[in-house]
Structure 1
Amino acid sequence: MKQGIHPDYHEVVFMDSSTGFKFLSRSTVSSAETVEWEDGNTYPLIRVETTSDSHPFYTGKQKFNKADGRVDRFNKKYGLTK
């Protein structure tokens, strides 16, 4: 591997803006905002809009607006049922 071309990975805390859920991970992203983690160390804080704590796929609160297929919607719209 070439030296000096790879980004600097460091530990950061990601926080879900909508739920307040936090987790510690490694990233190349940095921030001026910091937070004290459970281990007593201070890490940069990165605020994100969606995490596994708030995403509908992971929470099970997924909305199925268009669950019908195209054929079913056509038949429903034009009354062509079997």
Structure 2
Amino acid sequence: MKQGIHPEYRQVVFQDTSTGFKFMAGSTMNSAETITMDDGNEYPLVRLEISSDSHPFYTGREKFTQADGAVDRFNKKYGFK
């Protein structure tokens, strides 16, 4: 294996910008921002627009569209019977 071609793997804090939820995971992502966690160590901070804390699939706030109604509207609009 070649030396010096692999990115640095370290602990990074990810923060959901919509809920403020934070979690730490190993990553190779870079960030100019840092955050000090409860353990007193400083970690790179990567901001996310959506995470498991705010995604509708994980929170149970998923919206389902009525497929039958959409099909009926399409058929009515374009004259299909």
TM-score category by the smaller chain?
0.7 to 0.9
In structure 2, what is the Cα distance between the partners aligned to 1:5 and 1:29? 15
TM-score by length of 1: 0.78
Paired residue for 2:5?
A: 5
Partner in structure 2 of residue 40 of structure 1: 40
Q: How does 1:25-36 map to 2 (within 5 A)?
A: 25-36=25-36
Bigger drift between 2-11 and 39-48 goes to: 2-11
3-state DSSP class of the match of 1:23? Answer: strand
CA-to-partner distance for each residue in 1:27-55, whole Å, 9 max, x for gaps? 11111111111211110110010100000
d(CA) in 1 for partners of 2:46, 2:74:
47
Question: What is the 5 A alignment of 1:1-82?
Answer: 1-65=1-65, 67-68=66-67, 73-74=71-72, 77=75
Large movers: runs of 4+ above 3 Å: 74-78
Other structure's SS at 1:38 match: coil
Amino acid of the structure 2 residue aligned with 1:68? A
Aligned-residue RMSD, C-alpha: 2.3
Q: How many residues align?
A: 77
TM-score, length of structure 2 as denominator length: 0.79
Identity fraction in percent:
57
Secondary structure at the aligned position of 1:25 is classed as strand
* Runs (5+) with no aligned partner, structure 2: none
What is the Cα deviation at residue 77 of structure 1? 4.7
d(CA) in 2 for partners of 1:8, 1:77: 56
